[in-house]
Chains A and B, each alone.
Chain A
């Protein structure tokens, strides 16, 4: 079980990293979604006990799942959602202003603008 969870975390994390390296902003955002999912799964998997939901009354005789990691996982989920939502809309804004989400093109545009600014100053 431990190994299985670890492998799934690794796969989700690796896929996220792959998307993070892609050339366009939306795949980068998708990559961060996957990576934060991997983090949440790690957190929940790190509970010391596994069993029934930690909601009273507990079913007799069975162990209760670790509530602490669940609280932490909830926090991570929510913050991850906020950050990713912001990233996504920023990507949309970048597209709206530059008509591309390709990172290479974007950095070229940025470099051109910077040079123009420097020239304007000089």
Chain B
């Protein structure tokens, strides 16, 4: 599959929709050697010493992990600093169990992924012919992401949550779009940003609703005071929606498969342990509010189940490695959302447990897919792989462990993730249990297919990649897979952390969580056995079921929410182009676009002010005769300016209007203004004449005769008369308003002028009282005149 190298970002929707449909999820394929310009820098070399940037990032993340772990074992802690005290905003962070769980995941998995990135990214860059220095921005944004996640995990203030929420979206945008020369890459980045960014506004709206109701953004305070009611339900639903979109739940899930255009370490981090986890974190953090409403809980259960089933079914049909894992992530976060929707102690604590168990397994699996792809010269289609256990036994082994953990097989942490789900579902009757059990069945089938098609069978093509993989590409996978195994055998640490995190989500109530193996015929064990049987059967016979799943995937992709996204983006583009055509291309419309709203605003203000109806004619006696005469002259000159066809006459008429007004100013007791007006008018006249001297004679005459279509012959004078009458009403109303009583600023200025050593009060105001304004004004004037000089000199030379 090939993708054009498009250079104009606004064409993203076209680039995407041209292939919408069955190919949607496979669009993220590489365009090998698509030739990112090296900008004169040599392309990265796949070998050589371990990149220092990766080492630094991994060290920082590992230190942050150690610090978080230490702080948590010492009993947590909190930071509470004033931020914007007048708004009641505080920088309030607390390392409670929920925060510690997510902060440990973000920093711990972060450290492992950074280690993995070092070698992977060099291979990736050298494969694309890009210089090694491109990796700097990668680590910068990955670290920004880590910091944002830790901030998000520990923030106790809704606005602070929102800030970190958006920071994660921004970092993810740059990370998904890391291969900036590929259309799929930045259209995927844009999609992730838009879907999670627009729904982030819902979080803000929900937060503001809570602020209005409770007078604070502080979550602990809101939780302490929260009373169920429609307002709380709406706010909770909005916040839950933001969380669901971030966790790639149906119907917002489509951004995640498209985000697979990111380099694999990004997916291993953001799309398994961090970015998508942020949504569930938000749900866990605001759960005391969400669980006040049965409606919100039921909604989450439905969304969770739908994601579980749809994600699992589509994952079964995907051909590209990362696409399988992406839909698997959708399905697995469906587990957590369903658990929170099921509610109660089992749900809240179970949700926290599943997050950790899933993150370990999924991160490892993403790294497996990256290692396999790199070792196969960029091949990432299941159909072209096979038999890889011979060349990479360690990856195959670690991958098997991780896949077992994802499928919930015993002896891994994943076993308990399924058991907790069943336990919570059993409290809600057989129908829910059956639906919930379908998720793990599908999981077993698609992850079994994933692992088997890569590592078993016979190789379809001879591997073209490097013969042996670097240790730093393999070790991180093994580490995460082993941790999954360790937590499957030694359950206490994860169990207690998840139980305490669940207790935070329940607003302080203890959330009992017993995680242990029982070799008896209890219900959860029976369900698990049933799941293994069905899953195994499905795996063995899946080619027979594949058409069904494929039909479902086809319909879901063709008529799913992604289509709505694409078409709304296209509509927005079309609207913007139409506005552009209407407004920008024609100067008159551009002017109208400014003046008409101005007129509407002034009218509104005018109608709202009580001066309406207070028009006064004003005294006029014999001494004002000269003033009246020059005013009449100015008006006459202005009227005359509409007629002339010759350039010179136009200039002369304009100048006479200006000079008449200067005389008006002189007679109104404003000699300063009059002097400046004379000066400005003279300069104007000279400038007009100078410019017209550059044009051939009769240009204006020609234009005048050319450009009056009959339709405009009456329109323009009409608009002019209406705007003149409008100006009359506004100015007359303004000038008629009575002189206010009490001290006026002008009197004070007149009194103060001697202190500024000025005889002329206007001068004192300009050069002293408002000296800074005048300085800025002079700067503006200088810039404008520099532009005039430049344009004139070039006009003459051309």
Contact = CB atoms under 8 A, between A and B. Distances in A.
B618 A92 contact: no
Contacts of A37: 634, 638, 657-658, 661
B673 A88 contact: no
Chain B facing A: main interface SS = helix
B700 A9 contact: no
Contacts of B635: 7-8, 11-12
B759 A55 contact: yes
B704 A24 contact: yes
Interface string A1-33: 111111111111111111111111111101001
B695 interface: yes
Contact of B670 (A9, A26, A53, A110): A53
A116 interface: no
A85 B721 contact: no
B738 to A, nearest CB: 10
Q: Which of B684, B717, B731 has the most CB of A within 10 A?
A: B731
Contacts of A7: 635, 728
A41 B666 CA distance: 12
Contact of A11 (B617, B724, B791): B724
A78 B676 contact: yes
B654 A34 contact: yes
Contact of B791 (A21, A80, A92): A92
B688 A88 contact: yes
A111 B584 CA distance: 10
Contacts of B787: 86, 89
Contact of B719 (A21, A85, A90, A92): A21
B781 A79 contact: yes
B794 A77 contact: no
Interface string A60-76: 00001111101101110
Contacts of A14: 720-721, 723-725, 727
Contacts of B631: 4-5, 8
B791 A90 contact: yes
B765 A11 contact: no
Contacts of A38: 727
A16 B642 CA distance: 8
Chain A facing B: main interface SS = helix
Contact of A17 (B670, B677, B724): B724
A24 B706 CA distance: 10
Q: Which of B650, B749, B784 has the most CB of A within 10 A?
A: B784
Given A1-B624, A75-B777, A10 B725 contact: yes
Contact of A86 (B642, B734, B788): B788
B670 A70 contact: yes
Contacts of A64: 669, 750, 761
A10 B728 contact: yes
Given A33-B684, A38-B727, A67 B794 contact: no
Interface string B734-761: 1110011000111001100110000111
B646 to A, nearest CB: 12
A68 B746 contact: yes
B661 A89 contact: no
Contacts of A46: 734-735
B694 interface: yes
Given A54-B762, A64-B750, A74 B791 contact: no
B717 A18 contact: yes
Interface stretch (B200-208, B215-223, B586-594): B586-594
B38 interface: no
25 contacts: A8-B635, A10-B727, A15-B639, A17-B720, A25-B587, A26-B692, A33-B654, A38-B727, A44-B673, A53-B670, A67-B746, A70-B670, A74-B673, A75-B773, A77-B676, A77-B677, A77-B680, A78-B676, A78-B781, A81-B680, A85-B687, A93-B794, A95-B699, A96-B794, A96-B795
The 5 tightest CB contacts between A and B, nearest first, are: A14-B724, A23-B707, A2-B618, A65-B669, A18-B720
